[in-house]
Amino acid sequence: MVRFKHRYLLCEVVSDDPRCRLSLEDRALGGLIRDTIARVHGTFGAASCSIGFAVRYLNAYTGIVLLRCRKEFYQLVCSALPFITYLENKGHRYPCFLNTLHVGGTIRTCQKFLIRYNRRQLLILLQNCTDEGEREAIQKSVTKSCLLEERSDEEELSDSGGEEAAEAME
């Protein structure tokens, strides 16, 4: 009953440039978000948001970022994310924007949402696919994820959620 409550923001880095996602780094991104909050919300915003702030998960291949912040100030962080317009890495600037997918109270809820979201994205990719080889590869991963989904429904009582989540996210 007496604990610090957090909010976990699940965001996706969207960019035209394919090199932008590969240059994602948790410390650089964390620093960029802190600077943006300081610019948009001033000294008050920077101080209040940076206490519980951390970049918890980063996937350079899909561009998914999981940020953590205190529950009392998560709206300041949320409102500062649209002001991020570029990512800087080794002197190169890549224009991009952060799309907030989900706000959750725990990492587990964000993980569950991410699994469902990735499954839906696989189906959308399958529809928009042009190359035959790509189509086969995506169909294989869709069937694999469906099998994993069936298996997870059967084994609901046992706590194997972490493993299949890791497999499904790959």
Partner 1 sequence: MRKMWSALDKMPAPATTYERIVYRNPSEHHYMKVCLEFEDHGVGLNVAQFKQLLISALKDLFGEVAAALPLDVLTYEEKTLSAILRICSSGLVKLWSSLTLLGSYKGKKCAFRVIQVSPFLLALSGNSRELVLD
For partner 1, which is the closer residue by CB, 49 or 168? 49
42 is a site residue for partner 1 (CB under 8 A): yes
Q: Hey, CA dihedral for 140, 142, 144, 146, is it positive or negative?
A: negative
82 is a site residue for partner 1 (CB under 8 A): no
CA gap 54, 65 in Å, rounded:
11
With beta carbons less than 8 A apart as the criterion, state whether 44 and 73 touch. Answer: no
Q: How far is CA 133 from the centre of its chain?
A: 28
Please choose, out of 42-50, 64-72, 127-135, 162-170, the segment that lies near partner 1 by the rule CB under 8 A.
42-50
In the complex, what is the shortest distance from the CB of residue 35 to partner 1, in angstroms, rounded to a whole number? 12
C-beta neighbour count of 90 within 10 angstroms: 6
39 is a site residue for partner 1 (CB under 8 A): yes
Determine the size of the site formed for partner 1 (CB under 8 A): 9
In the complex, what is the shortest distance from the CB of residue 81 to partner 1, in angstroms, rounded to a whole number? 13
Among 9, 45, 64, 138, binds partner 1 (CB under 8 A): 45
DSSP 23: T
For partner 1, which is the closer residue by CB, 46 or 67? 46
Query: CA geometry: angle at 123 spanning 122 and 127, to 5°?
Result: 115
Binding site for partner 1 (CB under 8 A): 38-45, 79
